[in-house]
Amino acid sequence: MDDTVDLGNRVLNSGLSKDLAGQTVTVAGWLQDTRNLGGIAFLLIRDRSGLVQVTCLKKKLGDEVFAKLSGVPRESVVAVTGELKPNAQVSTGFEILPTAFQVISEAGTPLPIGVIDKVGVELDTRLNSRFMDLRKPQVLAIFKLREILIRGMREYLVSQRFMEVTTSKIVAAGAEGGSTLFPIKYFEQQAYLAQSPQLYKQMLMGAGLDRIYELAPAYRAEQSDTVRHIAEFASLDIEMSFIRSEEDVMNILEGLMAHSLETVLREGKQYLDELGVEVTVPKLPFPRVTLADAQKLLAEAGMPVKGDLDTESEKKLGEIMLEKHGAEMYFITKFPVEIKKSTFYAMRDPSDPELTNYFDLDYRGEELVSGGQREHRINVLINQIEEIGYNPKDFEFYLQAFRYGMPPHGGFGLGIERVLHMMLRLPNIRECVLFPRDMYRVVP
C-alpha cells in the first residue's frame, strides 16, 4: 500500500455520500477509534464535520500493512485515499477501502484526557488540556452553535441597516465605574482594558453613524468566582440614533433574539441533538415588567427584595414569568437612578426623575442584556457625571462629541456567552469559551 496521500484532493467527511460509490476519495483527520477483529479492522476517522469508517481487510493488505494500520494510536492525525463503497451496516451507509494510508502525526500515549471515553472529567482538568477537550463532538457542538447564533445576529442587524464597527480596547477611562477595570501600563501612561465600547458608541452617534454594532472582547475585573462570571467575554454592542424612547431599542433587541434563535433551530439541529437540548423561539413582543412590579411579584412569592435583584431573586422571577406569562425572555424596565448611578449616561424618565429609561433583558432568570436610552443633552450629562463624583474634564474626549450636535440615541450590550449558557442549559459559562479567563486562569 502507498503511504503517501495527496492532501490536495482531501474532502470533508460531510461531503461524502453513497452517491460517490465506486469513486476514489481522500479524507484526513484524527483517528478516533480502531476495532481490530483479527482479519478485519474498522478505523473511525474524525474531522470537524463528522466521522467516516475505513475498513481494512488483512487478506487484501497483507499481515505487515494490516498490523501497522490497526496499531496506530488513537488521536493520531492520518490521511486515507481509497474507494468509497456502500455498506448498509455502517451508520453513514458507506465505508472506504484504503489504497493509500499516511500517518501524518502520531499521538503520544496515554492521552491527557479521553475524547470518546465515557469517564467523567472535571472541568478544570478539561480546560488544562483544552486542545484535546475541543475534539469531543459534544464540546465542538457548543462552538458550532455559537457560530450559528452570531451569524443569525449579524444577519438580523444587517437587515435592520446596522453597520459593523471596531473600537479600541485600550481606554483611558471606564464606562461603568472604576471598580471592575483591568489597569495596564500603556507606554508612560495609565490605561485600562475596555469594560465596554459604550463611550465610543455614543461618540459615533455624534459622528452621524446612526446605527452601529460591534462584536468584540470586553473585560470585567469582577471578584466573582461563580458559574456565570468570566473576566473576558464576547460582547455584542449596538447603538442607534433618532429614537423616540427605550422602546425602540427594546424592539430591535427582541427581534434580534428571536431571529438568532430561529437561525439556531434551522441550521443547528444536529448540534442541538448532539447535546440533547431543545431550544424554543420566544414569542414577540417580550413581556415588560418594571423593577417595582418585579419586586411586588417576588414579595408575593415570599422573596421580598429591596433595591436591585440578586442572583436568587433573578432566578425566582424567571420562574414566575414562565409560570404567569409562559415567557423565557422578558424585559425588566424603569430602573431607579440609585441603582444605575454609575451609568452616568442613562437618561432619566421625564415623568419620574427618580427612574431611568434603562432596562435589562433576562432569559430564564439570568441577565443577558443591559441597555436603554442615553442622555444626549450636554448640560444634563455633565451634571450626571458630577453627581457620582467624577470630573467631567476626565471625559472631555467623550463630551466633545455632545457639544456639536448629538441626536437622541440608545443601545445595549449583550453577552454572547450568557446567551449560550442559558440557551444550552450548560452547568458553567466557561463551557462557552474556547480558552476562558477567570480570577484564577490565564493559561492555556
Q: The C-alpha cell of 417 is what?
A: 456567552
Q: Which of 49, 267, 367, 441 is catalytic?
A: 367
Q: Which of 154, 374, 418, 421 is catalytic?
A: 418
> CA-to-CA distance for 146 and 157, rounded, in angstroms?
17
> CA-to-CA distance for 417 and 369, rounded, in angstroms?
11
Helices (H), 388-433: 396-399, 416-423
Q: Which of 154, 220, 421, 430 is catalytic?
A: 220
Q: The C-alpha cell of 290 is what?
A: 418594571
Q: The C-alpha cell of 59 is what?
A: 487478506
> CA-to-CA distance for 403 and 202, rounded, in angstroms?
13
> CA-to-CA distance for 49 and 15, rounded, in angstroms?
9
DSSP label of 108: P
Q: Which of 48, 151, 229, 288 is catalytic?
A: 229
Question: Catalytic: 260?
Answer: no
Question: Catalytic: 146?
Answer: no
Helices (H), 56-122: 58-61, 63-70
Question: Catalytic: 319?
Answer: no
> CA-to-CA distance for 154 and 423, rounded, in angstroms?
18
Q: Which of 10, 151, 228, 437 is catalytic?
A: 228
Question: Catalytic: 222?
Answer: yes
Q: Which of 370, 375, 421, 431 is catalytic?
A: 370
Residue 367 burial (10 A CB sphere; 0-12, 13-18, 19+): middle
Question: Catalytic: 374?
Answer: no
Sign, Cα dihedral of 231, 236, 239, 243: negative
Closest CA to 373 of 192, 226, 251: 251
Closest CA to 317 of 299, 335, 338, 334: 299
Q: The C-alpha cell of 274 is what?
A: 448532539
Neighbouring residues of 426: CB distance < 8 A, sequence distance ≥ 6: 142, 420, 432
Neighbouring residues of 227: CB distance < 8 A, sequence distance ≥ 6: 427, 428, 429, 430
Question: Catalytic: 76?
Answer: no
Query: Within 13 Å of residue 71, how many CA atoms lie on the same side as its CB?
Result: 7
Q: ω before 407 within 30° of 0 (cis)?
A: no
- C-alpha to C-alpha distances, 175 to 6, 181, 280, 343, nearest whole angstrom: 54, 9, 34, 8
> CA-to-CA distance for 17 and 312, rounded, in angstroms?
50
Question: Catalytic: 46?
Answer: no
One-letter amino acid of 344? F
Q: Which phi and psi (to 5°) does residue 180 adopt?
A: -115, 25
Q: Which of 222, 232, 262, 366 is catalytic?
A: 222
> CA-to-CA distance for 440 and 426, rounded, in angstroms?
21
Query: Among all residues, which ones are annotated catalytic?
Result: 220, 222, 228-229, 367, 370, 418
